[in-house]
Structure 1
Amino acid sequence: MDLAALLQTYGYPLLFLGVFAEGESLLLLAAYLAQRGYLDPYAVAATAFVAAVCGDQFLFHLGRRRGIVLLNRFPRLRDKVGGALARVERHQTKFVLSMRFLWGLRTALPIALGLTTMSALRYLWLDLISAAVWSVTVSFVGFTAGRVVMRAVEDLHRYEKWIALALLGLGAFALAIRWRLKTRA
């Protein structure tokens, strides 16, 4: 099976899982691959949008139902959420609209917002707006960056399999280090 067939078969489910769990690195890669013609750019942005909303909603409702238990069980999460909880309560709308762009807080903020007085319906509407802006913006950046790279390096197609594998490997390595650091804490 060649790279194109693999991406067409597994690209969107992998993108969904990657965005649900991590964020933009896989979206940038998928947007680049869309620029190369392996994936549909609109489907990439739509998949990222749905995954972002699903991930945010899961974490919000987890915070709403089990937030105190999570904070007591995971001290690092408690440190992130606890210090920001008063600010999050005061500026709920600003935090929901910007949380997809705040690296390092993407897990903590939805959980913290679940602990506030914000209604689930209000959170959903604001999250839909935030995820739409984020998915289109990051997809556009990845697609445009791919176009710039292609102009700079005309024969990149000879190396695209290796580049895609290297980017996937780097992403997996970063996730492994992150997981390892979390398990040590």
Structure 2
Amino acid sequence: MNDLPNHFREILLGVGEDPQREGLLDTPKRAAKAMQYLCNGYDKSIEEVVNGALFASDNDEMVIVRDIELYSLCEHHMLPFIGKAHVAYIPTGKVLGLSKVARIVDMYARRLQIQENLTRQIAEAIQEVTQAAGVAVVIEAKHMCMMMRGVEKQNSLMNTSVMLGAFRESCTTRMEFLQLIGGNR
């Protein structure tokens, strides 16, 4: 068994708490279990997540999965950032099982991250798996490190995007994607 519970006990002591206080007796174990869950993306590989769910298709039009909830931890403060990802790709003979797009987002989000890298990792993984003509990923998220500490800005929202292939090369393709994810808002 790992030593995470003892480290959380030390954190409690470090902030001036008594780990023997009734309400905190099981906190080190619970916090360790929660941290392991929140970082379980390290235990997964793209091959395991996709699990062969690539299917032959004649479709060569844009496929979009919008509003995929994501929860991650900022690697600088280990505080949550919460938001949604919009993922699109243009198939070239193969489509990815729908749930696999969300699972790829989760795999990378469940690691200590910065949003900029998370966006790129998702895009590159979708590109690698599908060999698509293009991949686009936009993430919009609220960061607790900006809301709970530091500048304490409650309504700030960070947007990041990565455009690969046709989405980078064609302004028309990129604009179609951005309009489709921006509608109904």
TM category, shorter: under 0.3
From the two aligned structures, give the one with the greater helix fraction: 1
Q: Give the TM-score, by structure 1 length.
A: 0.26
* Larger Rg computed on CA atoms: 2
**Higher relative contact order, chain-length normalized (CA < 8 Å, sep 6+):** 1
From the two aligned structures, give the one with the greater strand fraction: 2
Q: Give the TM-score, by structure 2 length.
A: 0.26
